[in-house]
């Protein structure tokens, strides 16, 4: 167990939890957008992703995706899964605008759309990603106090084959791995807000093409970043992701002037 890796885990968790909350509190302080909107975004993510599609996608990736991982259809599978995720996630946002916003008379405005997107992105980061990071961190601490080879020798050959590589991977976690997750979450939040506003455009202006833009942009990010990770590694992939996050931030600021109806 290395001190540098432990520190990196702590920093990563602080970023994953503190960053979306800090941005949300800043947005709330400057615009007075309702917390109900934040809750709506979190609810939509939970309903359309966390408790439904995400578990199913993990199952499909395990059953089907692993068989295609090294084949010619690997990219086709990546695109298919990314497209389904994008369509369901943006469809969930659309349903929130259609059915949840009218419940309290919320208008389709920039500040409301941003707060709605922050709720979606915050739940994804704090509950899902930070939760998984924390569990991984606990496993790293626990296995660091054990003799891994002795533990593996106590298992049956079948169990050792099934979990041996995974346990060694946890023990050999380097300091940069948790930090990469933290950086990725920093870059993910602008995407979530931009997609939220693009979907809102389709409702506000009654033009379906804006919903299509949100799905296609989401699809592009979901394919390009993991695809580049496989081809050229995390450094290049996250560099491209940073450029895309900058583009998402530009969308958010550009739509501030285009969207009307501020309360």
**Segment 210-229, tens digit of pLDDT:** 999 999 999 999 999 998 98
Q: Are 251 and 194 in contact (CB under 8 A)?
A: yes
Q: Are 77 and 68 in contact (CB under 8 A)?
A: yes
Question: pTM of the prediction?
Answer: 0.91
Cα-trace Rg, the chain: 20
Query: Band of the pLDDT at 142, cuts 50, 70, 90?
Result: confident
Q: Is the pLDDT of residue 157 over 80?
A: no
**Residue closest to 119 by CA, chosen among 47, 183, 219, 184:** 47
**What is the model's pLDDT at position 153?**
67
Three-class secondary structure of residue 156 per DSSP = coil
**Residue closest to 183 by CA, chosen among 128, 233, 132, 235:** 235
Q: Distance between CA atoms of 174 and 29, rounded to whole angstroms?
A: 38
Q: Is the pLDDT of residue 191 over 90?
A: yes
Q: Report the mean per-residue pLDDT for the chain.
A: 90
For the stretch 71-123, pLDDT in tens is 678 888 889 999 999 999 999 999 999 999 999 999 999 999 999 999 999 99
- H or E element, residue 56: helix 53-60
**Residue closest to 85 by CA, chosen among 195, 250, 5:** 195
Query: Band of the pLDDT at 152, cuts 50, 70, 90?
Result: low
**What is the model's pLDDT at position 116?**
98
Q: Are 185 and 137 in contact (CB under 8 A)?
A: no
Angle at 231 between CA 227 and CA 237, to 5 degrees: 60
**What is the model's pLDDT at position 79?**
92
Q: Are 5 and 140 in contact (CB under 8 A)?
A: yes
**What is the model's pLDDT at position 262?**
46
């Amino acid at each position: 167990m290395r001190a540098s890796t432990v520190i990196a885990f702590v920093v990563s968790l602080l970023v994953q939890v503190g960053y979306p909350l800090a941005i949300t509190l800043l947005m709330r302080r400057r615009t007075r957008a309702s917390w109900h909107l934040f809750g709506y975004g979190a609810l939509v993510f939970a309903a359309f992703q966390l408790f439904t599609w995400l578990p199913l996608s993990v199952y499909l990736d395990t059953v089907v995706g692993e068989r295609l991982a090294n084949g010619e259809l690997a990219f086709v599978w990546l695109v298919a899964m990314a497209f389904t995720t994008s369509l369901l996630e943006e469809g969930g946002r659309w349903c929130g605008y259609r059915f949840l916003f009218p419940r309290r008379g919320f208008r389709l405005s920039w500040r409301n759309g941003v707060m709605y997107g922050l709720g979606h992105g915050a739940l994804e980061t704090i509950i899902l990603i930070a939760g998984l990071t924390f569990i991984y961190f606990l496993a790293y601490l626990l296995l660091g106090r054990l003799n891994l080879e002795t533990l593996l020798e106590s298992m049956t050959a079948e169990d050792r084959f099934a979990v041996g590589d995974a346990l060694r991977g946890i023990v050999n976690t380097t300091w940069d791995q948790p930090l990469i997750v933290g950086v990725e979450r920093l870059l993910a939040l602008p995407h979530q807000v931009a997609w939220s506003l693009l979907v809102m455009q389709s409702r506000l202006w009654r033009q379906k093409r804006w919903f299509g833009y949100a799905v296609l942009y989401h699809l592009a990010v979901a394919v390009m970043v993991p695809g580049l990770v496989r081809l050229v590694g995390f450094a290049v992939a996250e560099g491209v992701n940073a450029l895309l996050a900058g583009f998402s931030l530009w969308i958010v600021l550009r739509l501030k002037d285009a969207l009307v109806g501020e309360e």
